[in-house]
Structure 1
Amino acid sequence: MPHLRYVLLGTAGTTVALIGYLWLTLLSPFTYDRPEWLPDIQSGEHQVFVYGTLRYPFVRWLVYGRAGDPEPATLEGFRRNALDLAEAPGESVNGLLLHVDAEELSRLDRYERLGLRYERVLMTLADGREAWVYRRL
């Protein structure tokens, strides 16, 4: 049974490392400072089009505390290009439309490292609604 002990220790170590990474990435005050030049977030409801990891309920729950009730949505004239979108006439990207408040948008900005890794751009979806979309810098 000594072998089982090492497997359990390895699993526990991996779990602790994952929890530490998630805390540093999503909640820690040490890993992201919102750039001062970014405009303040307006109060009220915001719509955000997501096309990557934020499509998964578990990730949304970790990032802003709830899975929400997202709606399917499409952004026309683009295609996914790794972690970003590339202009592509005639193509489209399927994703989800999230409805979030100002605090939740702030948490999404933190997750996306707004101003450092991504910018948040207001874009028009296929159905005519406007939504924030995170684009790589």
Structure 2
Amino acid sequence: MAGPAHHQLFSYGTLQYREVQLAQFGRLLEGKPDALPGHRITYIEITDPEVIAVSGSDRHPLLVASSEPSDAIEGTVFSITDEELASADDYEVDDYARTQVVLRSGTKAWVYLGAQTEQSPDGRSTAAA
């Protein structure tokens, strides 16, 4: 049995899929809608055959910082355990890096951003040099 939930994880992509949750966490996650301001979505091609098999796609969304303050990414925030966070890390390919952000609701949550981005002190991501 999984331990208590200690982490908030914001998903804007395949971690919201029923099949992915069952494969990665062994259960369906309960979540609530939220959004990440100051970002927009682009897409990347995934080459990891296991991730493609679980998600059903080789094209996955990727968040990037936006210069438009009105841009925001809608998604779901989930409460997960330490073990589930480690499983999410295993699922995400090297193109993603887990980063802590503040969502529209004020909730601090982990999110997977592009591995070539970094967070500024105000919680916005910026392209890494």
TM range (shorter): 0.5 to 0.7
Aligned residues between the structures: 93
**Distance of 1:95 and 1:79 partners within structure 2:** 12
Give 4+ residue runs of structure 1 displaced > 2 Å after superposition: none
Which structure would you say has the larger Rg? Answer: 1
1:101-123 Cα offsets, whole Å, 9 max, x none, are 0001100000013xx33211000
Deviation, 1:44, is 5.4
**Distance of 2:35 and 2:13 partners within structure 1:** 13
Runs of 5+ in structure 2 lacking a partner? 44-60, 116-129
Which of the residues 47, 52, 55 maps onto 2:16?
A: 55
1:61-119 Cα offsets, whole Å, 9 max, x none, are 11111111111111111111113112122111000101110001100000013xx3321
Is 1:71 matched up with 2:51?
Answer: no
TM-score, normalised to structure 2, is: 0.67
Higher strand share: 2
Q: Give, as a single letter, the amino acid of the residue that structure 1 aligns with 2:19.
A: F
Q: Give, as a single letter, the amino acid of the residue that structure 1 aligns with 2:78.
A: L
RMSD: 1.5
TM-score, normalised to structure 1, is: 0.63
